[in-house]
């Protein structure tokens, strides 16, 4: 008797465990009856296909044979569909998805079973280990208390709770952020907190010996007076950024007026129609494009006071400032700028009242500009002003005959130019370094007593840093700029020494103010304390007359103590000097009196 198709679908394929052993079911009678009916079914029926087992490639269960990846043959007729199992009626994609699903289910069951058994074995072994440790440590207590399995479970629960608390604490307080847990402090190295802006150590070893006057730079600049700040702008040193800071980022009583679309700003003194800043963004290129030291020192006084009578010109102080940069980076940046079409043809190069001739200063290129110039051609030009530009722009060119190279030998000329640039740089009111933006801001604020609104930003990625050069080209650039290399080393040493000197001076001033404040507060406290005691004694004068036989002496002692606590160190030094002078006068008087007495006694003896 053949079963209907709905019964076959309800029963499903029979499970065939390993070794073809008969599968056990919850109902043995029903299972034997179904097997008998399937055995009696004719060969071509659907029940016979069910009796044949699952189709090829379908898993038989957990202990089934390995799956075959051979594709199933689809039947093309109804007879083939009737002979094939019901699973073969599905599409090939659905059958493959069912194969993958069953395979994953079998692997997932296996993994879960292994994990469960492993955790059980681990817990069992951990329990035995902990019980052994507990019996070793608390053996007497266990023998007295007759410890049983419940105590072991309690101990295991406590240990697990402790481990869980440690894990939670690690997540809550990772690393060295938590004060209670510093597990990583011993393994990870502690970074150096004294790091400079150029990723070098801040504790440098000075190479040059400077005096206190060279390190202490504090200009008494009165913006309401007649003094003038002159900015010497060297090409490709970050001077444009610093110049914008001067006109847009300083806290002033009367800020500079900068209008949209205009390159120059109006920086007038409070209550006057006169500028206090001579720079590109305030007065423009009044002395020529990127004027150097030689041009500015002769041009600025004439431009500022040229329209006034010589007798009415005020006695001004011209405070020169500038920015320097690493010579190799500056050189590469200028080369990239020239590649884009920059020429600086508007530069006058006036020296000793005249510009240089074409024979004294030949051009490196023919045409309107030098755009597209390769680096090798840029370095091969012997008349390129980019070579040692910072030394040339900071030195007094009149000492070497301006641009006439035949005045003195080249070696002597280079020595004079370098010494002049060092001297002018040291006596400037202020200079900064492009590689130290924050320190540059700090020294400017301390020098001129002027504060910036927003802090400076250090940009370590520039156009020059994007240029990849090998060691040979870098050595050649350093050779072409050997004077700038020495000047920059000198300037960096002086700059960092000034910064450290100013920081130490600031810390000393803050410490002195704190000490004076403590002394003042202590004096006030003692004064109020003694005043309260004096008022109490004044209200009850007849209680203890013998305890205070001399109240005036106590009051004088209290006043002297309060004065010593509230006085500043300078006042104390003045009082000590006065006491010493008085003591010397008294000693002189005593010695004179003693001499007279001695002479009188000698006369009496005679």
343 domain-assigned: yes
Q: Which residues touch 469 (CB under 8 Å, ≥6 apart)?
A: 332, 375, 477
Residues of the domain holding 422: 196-512
Picking from 144-148, 343-347, 358-362, 525-529, which range would have the lowest pLDDT averaged per residue? 144-148
Q: Which residues pair with 431 in a beta bridge?
A: 322
Task: Select which of 290, 319, 427, 529 is catalytic.
Answer: 290
Work out the mean pLDDT of the chain and round it to a whole number: 76
Picking from 421-425, 433-437, 459-463, which range would have the lowest pLDDT averaged per residue? 459-463
Nearest residue to 393 via CA among 356, 361, 421, 353: 421
Tell me the pLDDT tens digit for each residue of 481-510.
999 999 999 999 999 999 999 999 999 999
Contact between 47 and 5 (Cβ < 8 Å)? no
pLDDT at 510: 93
pLDDT at 127: 74
Please report the DSSP string for 165-181 in residue order: HHHHHHHHS-TTSSSS-
Please give the average per-residue pLDDT across 246-273, as a whole number.
93
Helices (H), 428-470: 437-448
Residue 195, φ and ψ in degrees, nearest 5: -115, 140
Greatest Cα pair distance in the chain: 174
CA dist 217 and 215 (Å) reads 6
> Of 135 and 496, which is predicted with more confidence?
496
pLDDT at 481: 98
What percent of the chain clears pLDDT 70, i.e. is strictly above it? Answer: 62
CA dist 457 and 460 (Å) reads 10
pLDDT at 575: 59
> Of 527 and 302, which is predicted with more confidence?
302
Tell me the pLDDT tens digit for each residue of 292-325.
999 999 999 999 987 676 667 778 899 999 999 9
25 domain-assigned: no
Q: List the beta strands (DSSP E) in 220-262.
A: 228-232
319 is catalytic: no
Please give the average per-residue pLDDT across 138-161, as a whole number.
63
316 domain-assigned: yes
Nearest residue to 176 via CA among 188, 165, 184: 184
Tell me the pLDDT tens digit for each residue of 58-87.
444 444 444 444 444 444 444 444 444 555
pLDDT of 54 strictly over 80: no
pLDDT at 78: 42
Residue whose pair of structure tokens reads 């990723």 in the numeric block: 199
CA dist 403 and 356 (Å) reads 6
- Is the pTM higher than 0.95? The answer reads no
* DSSP assignment letter at 54: S
The H-or-E segment that residue 354 falls in is none
Nearest residue to 283 via CA among 255, 247, 321, 259: 247
Residue whose pair of structure tokens reads 């500079």 in the numeric block: 256
307 domain-assigned: yes
371 domain-assigned: yes
Q: Which residues pair with 46 in a beta bridge?
A: none
Rg (CA), the chain: 48
CA dist 408 and 420 (Å) reads 16
289 domain-assigned: yes
Q: How confident is the model at residue 403 (pLDDT cuts 50, 70, 90)?
A: very high
Q: How confident is the model at residue 165 (pLDDT cuts 50, 70, 90)?
A: confident
Contact between 469 and 404 (Cβ < 8 Å)? no
Start-to-end CA distance of the chain, whole Å, equals 173
427 domain-assigned: yes
Provide the domain count of the chain.
1
Please give the average per-residue pLDDT across 130-143, as a whole number.
62
Contact between 374 and 338 (Cβ < 8 Å)? no
Cα 200 to its chain centre, rounded Å, is 12
Please report the DSSP string for 262-323 in residue order: -S--B-BPTTSS-BSEESTTTT-STT-TT--HHHHHHHHHHHHHTTS-GGG-----EEEEEE
pLDDT at 115: 76
Picking from 128-142, 214-228, 298-312, 320-334, which range would have the lowest pLDDT averaged per residue? 128-142
Nearest residue to 402 via CA among 443, 438, 348: 348
Long-range own/partner contacts, residues 529-536 (CB < 8 A, 24 or more apart): 530/558
144 domain-assigned: no
């Amino acid at each position: 008797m053949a079963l209907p198709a709905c019964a076959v679908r309800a029963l499903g394929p029979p499970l065939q465990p390993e070794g073809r052993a008969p599968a056990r079911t919850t109902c043995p009678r029903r299972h034997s009856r179904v097997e008998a009916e399937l055995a009696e079914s004719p060969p071509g029926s659907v029940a016979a296909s069910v009796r044949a087992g699952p189709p090829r490639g379908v898993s038989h269960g957990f202990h089934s044979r390995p799956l075959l990846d051979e594709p199933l043959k689809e039947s093309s007729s109804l007879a083939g569909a009737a002979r094939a199992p019901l699973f073969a009626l599905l599409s090939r994609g659905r059958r493959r998805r069912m194969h993958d699903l069953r395979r994953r289910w079998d692997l997932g069951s296996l993994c879960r079973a292994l994990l469960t058994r492993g955790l059980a074995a681990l817990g069992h072994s951990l329990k035995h280990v902990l019980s052994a440790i507990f019996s070793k440590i608390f053996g007497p207590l266990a023998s007295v208390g007759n410890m049983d399995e419940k105590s072991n479970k309690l101990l295991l629960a406590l240990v697990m709770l402790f481990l869980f608390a440690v894990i939670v604490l690690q997540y809550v307080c990772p690393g060295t952020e938590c004060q209670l847990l510093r597990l990583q402090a011993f393994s990870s190295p502690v970074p150096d907190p004294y790091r400079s802006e150029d990723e070098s150590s801040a504790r440098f070893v000075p190479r040059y010996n400077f005096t206190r006057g060279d390190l202490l730079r504090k200009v008494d600049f009165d913006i309401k007076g007649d003094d003038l700040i002159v900015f010497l702008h060297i090409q490709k040193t970050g001077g444009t950024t610093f110049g914008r800071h001067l006109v847009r980022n300083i806290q002033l009583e009367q800020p500079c007026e900068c209008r949209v679309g205009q390159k120059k700003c109006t920086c007038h003194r409070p209550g006057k129609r006169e500028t206090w800043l001579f720079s590109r963004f305030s007065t423009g290129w009044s002395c020529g494009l990127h004027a150097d030291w030689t041009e500015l020192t002769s041009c600025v006084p004439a431009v500022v006071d040229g329209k006034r009578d010589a007798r009415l010109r005020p006695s001004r102080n011209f405070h020169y400032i500038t920015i320097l940069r690493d010579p190799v980076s500056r050189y590469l940046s200028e080369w990239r700028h020239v590649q884009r079409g920059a020429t600086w043809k508007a530069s006058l190069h006036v020296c000793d009242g005249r510009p240089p001739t074409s024979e004294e200063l030949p051009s490196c290129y023919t045409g309107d500009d030098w755009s597209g110039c390769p680096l090798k051609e840029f370095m091969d030009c012997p008349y390129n002003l980019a070579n040692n530009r910072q030394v040339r722009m900071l030195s007094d060119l009149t000492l070497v005959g301006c641009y006439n190279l035949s005045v003195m030998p080249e070696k002597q000329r280079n020595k004079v130019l370098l010494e002049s640039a060092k001297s002018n740089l040291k006596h400037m009111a202020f200079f900064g370094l492009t590689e130290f933006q924050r320190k540059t801001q700090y020294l400017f604020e301390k020098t001129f007593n002027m504060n910036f609104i927003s802090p400076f930003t250090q940009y370590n990625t520039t156009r020059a840093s994007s240029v990849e050069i090998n060691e040979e080209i870098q050595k050649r650039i350093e050779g072409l700029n050997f004077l700038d290399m020495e000047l920059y080393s000198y300037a960096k040493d002086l700059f960092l020494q000034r910064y450290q000197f100013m920081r130490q001076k600031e810390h000393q001033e803050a410490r002195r103010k704190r000490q004076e404040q403590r002394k003042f507060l202590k004096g006030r406290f003692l004064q109020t304390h003694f005043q309260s005691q004096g008022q109490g004694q004044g209200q009850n004068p007849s209680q203890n007359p013998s305890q205070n036989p001399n109240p005036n002496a106590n009051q004088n002692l209290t006043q002297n103590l309060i004065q010593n606590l509230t006085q500043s160190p300078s006042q104390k030094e003045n009082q000590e000097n006065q006491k010493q002078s008085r003591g010397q006068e008294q000693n002189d008087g005593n010695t004179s009196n003693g001499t007279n007495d001695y002479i009188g006694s000698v006369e009496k003896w005679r």
